[in-house]
Structures are given as C-alpha cells and as structure tokens.
Amino acid sequence: MGHGGLSEGGEGGVIRLALVGVGRWGRNYLAAADAAGAKVSQIVLREGSASRALADATGLHVVSRVDEIDADAVIVATHPSIAPWVAQVHLERGY
C-alpha cells in the first residue's frame, strides 16, 4: 500500500517522510516529527533557497523537484496556491 510500502514503513519499519516547504510551517513540521520520533529524510528546496542553511545544519537529503522525492509519505507545507499541485503529483505516484 502506498509508495515504498507505507503500511509496513520504509527500511527497518521506519516511515521515511519528505518535507516540501521549509518555511515557518515547514520548520514546525520538522520539530513535530522529531518530537514524535518520526524521521524526515528529505526536503525539497528551490534553487537558491535561503533554507539551504537548515538543510546543511540538519544533514537532510535535499532534492530540488517534487518528482525526485523517494519517501514513504510527503508533508506538504507550501503556499496554499501550490499545495494542491504538489499533492496531486504524489497522489499520482501512489503516496
């Protein structure tokens, strides 16, 4: 079920999360995932994003396009005008 076997989790039973949008809300989601013991393994950053320092500081894998994500589930923390498109891309991929 889902991309990468979401019902069983990813490797070792851990659900690998990707985060699209690392602004204020994205950072809140990172903190919440960490507090819950979840693993955010990837973030999507636009080219030249000011959030690059966060990626470097956390060691998260960075991709620049939503279709490059390789995760079990995706957290969409983007502007509401783009969120439906990001969600559609991943629903079509089986997330």
| One pLDDT digit (tens) per residue for the chain, 95 residues | 344 444 455 566 778 899 998 888 888 998 898 888 888 989 888 766 667 777 777 788 888 888 888 888 889 888 888 888 888 887 887 76
Phi-psi category of residue 41: left, alpha or beta, with phi > 0 → left and psi -120 to 50 → alpha:
alpha
Kindly report the backbone phi and psi dihedral angles of residue 83, in degrees, each rounded to the nearest multiple of 5, phi listed first. -55, -45
Q: Check residue 19 and give its pLDDT.
A: 92
- Alpha-carbon distance 39 to 75, whole Å? 12
pTM: 0.74
SS3 (DSSP) at 20:
strand
Separation CA 48–CA 6 (nearest Å) = 32
